[in-house]
Chains A and B, each alone.
Chain A
Amino acid sequence: MNGFSLWRYEMRAAVKRPAPLFLSIGIPLIIIGLVVLVLQSVVEEGAEPVRAAVVDEDDTFQTNALINQLSEEERLSQALDLIPLEAEEAEQAFEKGELAGVMTIPEGFTASLMIGENDPISVMTNEDDSLDATMLKVLLESGANYISASQSAVNTVYDLHIRNLSEDERNSRLQEAIITYTLFALDRGDLFSEETVTTGANIGWEKHAYLAVLMTFLFLFLAIYQMLDGKKESGSLLERWRMVDVTFVHWVGIKQVKWWLVTFGVLELMVLALSQTEVLTLSITLHLGVVLIALWATSLASFLYALNTPAGLRFLVFLIISVIGLLSAGAWVPSLYLPEWLSVAWNPYGLTYDVFRSALLEREERGHLLGLALWGIGLNGLALSIALWKEKRDAYVSIFTSE
């Protein structure tokens, strides 16, 4: 009965002072919205080919072939727009920020290549355009290995065969060798026969993005909400509650129920919104999963509350735990790419990910629900035990005699 009075008091406070709830929803939405906007512009920018200039100060048959190697290969040409420019023009365009990089082939480069020396080609990348600069680096490095292979073959044929021919024949045979091996290297796409298999296990990048947003929102929301709603009441108020046998144990229990209810409601709204966009399909398993996710996540918050941690510190601790949890669960970078030691089977964040993943794949998997329930009940029990121990230590309750 006393617990019910406290419940009414808490819910009345939530209705009369709705700011914590709105702020807890609004702030994460703004943060995630801004991050999504940035990522979207990055993806759009990534779809455009990278613009880079090439300054050929050597201007020989080999350097022209080399530029062709880089700019005419099918995959590279889709991603890289290599523009031949004079040194001054390239410098001006770079200073205007129009280029992701400038590749300069120095004078005497061909001669050094023919005698097997490694005079590197200098590539200046734009540090203000790091995405395009990285793409340019990857693309050029990829082409560089093929050019090394063809040039090794040219040098071998020249050193062991062409060098011994008459001068007239030497030049024509050298040109012939360069063309032959350059074209051969350009045919590298023929090496592979491609087979595409349909995978039912991967949720795909688009759905992963939805999942990342949903999980980040959930834990950011809860981190803020439990901080704003979980401030300790003043001493006199607590004393008055104690007079009607409402102790810290009741507070922990009621906060847990209230946070669970609010989190469940917010999460259900998110899931319903996603189901409207046909990203996921609603099912009993999903709803049960949402109930248990809200249970374990709020149990973690109430466990920190039971430790009597101040609101600000509780926010920081909850945030740090969640950052590590979400990272290891593969909520941001899919776990496929993460090191194995980071994936732990009993990680509740991982189990949470599995619930949403199953829903996105329209699978009725219920194995992870038990783990979530155990985490929820365990943390909840721990929180109540700590609160009981604390009240008992302060002699406010006796576990044998109190009502």
Chain B
Amino acid sequence: MLTYLSLHLNKWKKRPFLSLLLFCFPLLATLLLYPVFENTAEETAVPIAIVDEDNSDYSETILERTRGAERLRFTEMEAGEAEDAVRKGTMEAAFILEDGLQEALNDGDVRDVVTWVRSDEALFDVYAKEAIGAEVMRLALNAKAANAIDEDFDEAFAYSDSFWEPAPLFQMDFTERSPDNPDVEVPKLAAWHVMAIQLFFLYGWVLGIFFLRELIADEKEGRLQRIRLIQQTTVRYFASHFVLFCLVGAGSFLLGLGALFYLADITQVLVQAWLVRSLIVFAITLLVTWCLFMGTGRKRWMVPVLVLLALASFLLTVTSTGITGIWPHSWLVGRGGLG
């Protein structure tokens, strides 16, 4: 058996560095790309210019509170500079806190206290508008409430603002549920993690398919005939190939999967669920692939056909087009027959 295992790995032994590189590619790619993608995703934001023409306590408060807004990158500028930046396309929009803002809010007049300069192509600046609008309205309503009662304005204003601490009054508790089972919250991976796992699966599968070429080479160069002649049987030869075929494909896939789970700090429950599912789906996929290859007489053309099948499985599942239920990738993400 060891002799056969060694025979099948002959080509890999000749170029060990290359073979190891191909085997570990999902692992290396994850280690290389994960930090780049993670940092990029975290720091991607809409650039917004903000101009303080009022230079009051209120405008400073607005600037301070909006600074921490999610997915928005506020930069303080002068009015002319901000307008130029929007025109040049280096800023999505500019918000000018107009002179007299504090006075107007204290008087209960909120009309046109902020000028919103946007380009004709702007799309995401509405989120900045909401963030600034919410802060202005918070101050305006505090002032309106303070004006409505016979107490000291500053004290009443501070009392109204105290309802925002430690958290705003109106809060929403969001939970994601599946329509199939709305009563239980099931932990799930982020969409891009699932996409990465599907890519690892594709790579492992294709690597396995290329390993099938060893059988074609053995037949072409007469090694298989010699084994058949001397050993009278080829069962152990094919069995050892199948073992290596599975190890090569699944090993490469699992290395990538492990690196992703480690870097993304995925919970134990999810890791276990995905590992079990992935291994079952991968085992079935490799068995079917191997049987298809053997069943069609180990033809050379079968290798590109199987690669195209793997590619189709990935593409049609990811884009949710075609008959998704029949593809291993859809079983992997739980949409197909194994779901």
Task: Please give the residue numbers on chain A whose beta carbons come within 8 Å of chain B beta carbons, in ascending order.
Answer: 27, 30-31, 34-35, 37-38, 66, 75, 91, 94-97, 103, 113, 116, 118, 120-128, 130, 133, 137-138, 140-142, 144-157, 159-161, 177, 181, 184-185, 187-188, 190-202, 204-205, 310, 312-313, 316, 320, 323-324, 327, 333, 336-339, 342
In angstroms, Cα B177 to Cα A320, docked, is 35
Whether the Cβ atoms of B89 and A201 lie closer than 8 Å is: yes
Interface size on B, residues (CB 8 A): 86
Interface pairs A-B: 7 shortest CB-CB: A201-B89, A145-B134, A339-B43, A153-B145, A148-B168, A152-B163, A156-B160
Interface CB pairs A-B, < 8 A, 16: A116-B169, A123-B174, A123-B175, A126-B177, A126-B179, A146-B134, A152-B164, A156-B146, A161-B148, A194-B118, A199-B89, A199-B120, A313-B21, A320-B29, A336-B47, A337-B124
B321 contacts A157, C-beta separation under 8 Å: no
By the criterion CB–CB under 8 Å, are A197 and B119 in contact? yes
Q: Is the CB of B86 within 8 A of A197?
A: yes
Provide the residues of chain B in CB contact with A202, threshold 8 Å.
89, 119, 121
**Which residues of chain B from 91 to 138 have any CB-CB distance to chain A below 8 Å in the complex?**
92, 110-121, 123-124, 126-127, 129-130, 133-134, 136-138
What is the bound-complex CA distance between A151 and B113, given in angstroms? Answer: 22
- Is B243 an interface position by the 8 A CB rule? no
In the complex, what's the smallest C-beta–C-beta distance from B322 to chain A, in angstroms? 9
- Alpha-carbon separation in the docked complex, A339 to B320 (Å): 31
Tell me the nearest residue of chain A to B171, going by C-beta.
A120
A187 and B116 contact, CB distance less than 8 A: no
Given known contacts A148-B164, A156-B163, A198 and B145 CB-to-CB distance under 8 angstroms:
no
Contacts of B145 in A (CB 8 A): 152-154, 156-157, 181
B232 part of interface (Cβ distance < 8 Å): no
B12 CB, nearest partner CB in chain A, Å: 12
Picked from B39, B88, B137, the residue with its CB within 8 Å of the CB of A191 is B137
- Residues of chain B whose beta carbon lies under 8 Å from any beta carbon of chain A: 15, 18, 21-22, 25, 29, 32-33, 36, 39-40, 43-47, 83, 86-90, 92, 110-121, 123-124, 126-127, 129-130, 133-134, 136-138, 140-142, 144-146, 148-151, 156, 159-161, 163-164, 167-180, 182, 188, 191, 210, 311, 315-316, 319-321
Contacts A152-B142, A201-B88, A320-B32 given; does A337 touch B169 at CB 8 Å = no
Q: Is the CB of A324 within 8 A of B149?
A: no
B126, closest chain A residue (CB) = A75
Q: Is the CB of A157 within 8 A of B148?
A: yes
Given A123-B174, A199-B86, does the pair A313, B168 have CB atoms closer than 8 Å?
no
In the assembled complex, the Cα of A185 lies from the Cα of B110 at a distance in Å of 10
Q: Which residues of A contact B137 (CB under 8 A)?
A: 145-146, 149, 185, 188, 191
Report which of B22, B92, B172 forms a contact with A141, defined as CB distance below 8 A.
B172
A167 to chain B, nearest CB (A): 19
Q: Is the CB of A191 within 8 A of B113?
A: yes
- Chain A's closest residue to B28 (CB) is A320
